[in-house]
Amino acid sequence: MPEPILSIVNVTKIYDSLKAVDRISFAINPGEIVGLLGPNGAGKTTTINMILGILEPTHGSIEILGKDVRACGSDIRKHINFAAVYAHMPANLTVRQDLYVFGLLYEVGNIREKIRFLLHEFDLERFADTKAGLLSSGELSRLNLAKAVMNEPRLLLLDEPTASLDPSISQLIREKIKRYMLSTRAGILWTSHNMNEIEAVCDRVMFLSHGRILLSGDPKSLPAQHGMGTLEELFIAVAREPLCLEHEVGI
């Protein structure tokens, strides 16, 4: 077995009296795309923020490439990156300037050449000197993704990367991410509310409910294992009747 890129053991996050994440454990292996699913407020973004190191877990350990995130934060973050709809690139800089600033932050080598490549790869050449705040949702998503892969991360975290995009752009973005994974063998954690998308890209999914991992498995066979026709039906069941499923899986 290869060493996992990400290993999370018994991680809990408590805000005051609210348990946002409750003793979750999972791992992501090289070349694996794992879907983190669940209704709003289930703890997906909290989990991603803890992996990114911008939120400290109350208990438990998070290791990336065998190193503890809390102890080796800056060194570890050179090897990870992320894209999320809520994490804005500086809107008052141009696309080129944004990529330059983040290239410096990630200490990307041959930065100008890299920016040229990314602008071409993500079809952003026309917008290189346009301020990021003036881009459409699709263009912004492509910019976020260009930033997310510019340091060639071993672990890529994608929090609803295709939210609010039309199906054509969503598919293009999915293809780019899959291509990136195949060429680099990076591990990817992907959250989305689009179950067709999850089924198309993920090797494995985990359902979170009230901060706990309720179910996990192959997105193609998991619905049938729980008496559902589709992943979407399973999602709805997790969102509306988590207690029944908890009972069923013995939590």
Partner 1 sequence: MSLSRIYAIYVRQIFLLRSNPTRLATVFLWLVIDILQWGFISKYIGSLGQATFSFITVILGAIILWEFMSRIQQGILMAFLEDIWTQNFINFFASPLQIREYLCGLVLTSITTGLAGFFAVVAIAGGVFGYNVLRIGALLLPFMFILLIFGIGMGVFVSAIIFRLGPSAEWLGWPIPMILSLFSGVYFPISTLPPFLHAFAKFIPASYVFESMRKILASGTFPPDLALNLFAGGLLALGYLLMASRFFLRIYRKNLENGNIARFNAEAL
**Least Cβ distance, residue 155 to partner 1 (angstroms):** 12
If the CB atoms of residues 89 and 181 are measured against partner 1, the closer one turns out to be 89
If the CB atoms of residues 59 and 240 are measured against partner 1, the closer one turns out to be 59
**Least Cβ distance, residue 111 to partner 1 (angstroms):** 9
Specify the residue for token string 């408590």.
Answer: 14
Q: Determine, following the binding rule CB under 8 A, whether residue 54 of this chain makes contact with partner 1.
A: yes
Return the residues of window 118-157 that contact partner 1 according to CB under 8 A.
147
If the CB atoms of residues 61 and 216 are measured against partner 1, the closer one turns out to be 61
Among 3, 10, 15, 243, binds partner 1 (CB under 8 A): 15
**Least Cβ distance, residue 6 to partner 1 (angstroms):** 15
**Least Cβ distance, residue 174 to partner 1 (angstroms):** 22
Q: Determine, following the binding rule CB under 8 A, whether residue 188 of this chain makes contact with partner 1.
A: no
If the CB atoms of residues 105 and 243 are measured against partner 1, the closer one turns out to be 105
Q: Determine, following the binding rule CB under 8 A, whether residue 183 of this chain makes contact with partner 1.
A: no
Distance CA 153, CA 188 (A): 10
Query: Which x/- pattern, by CB under 8 A, does the window 77-106 give for partner 1?
Result: xx---x-x-xxxxxxxxx--x--xxx-xxx
Distance CA 16, CA 24 (A): 19
Structure tokens at 186: 């990076």
Q: What angle do CA 67, 198, 228 make, to 5 degrees?
A: 120
**Least Cβ distance, residue 160 to partner 1 (angstroms):** 14
Q: Determine, following the binding rule CB under 8 A, whether residue 53 of this chain makes contact with partner 1.
A: yes
List contacts with partner 1 (CB under 8 A). 15, 45-46, 49, 52-56, 73-75, 77-78, 82, 84, 86-94, 97, 100-102, 104-107, 147
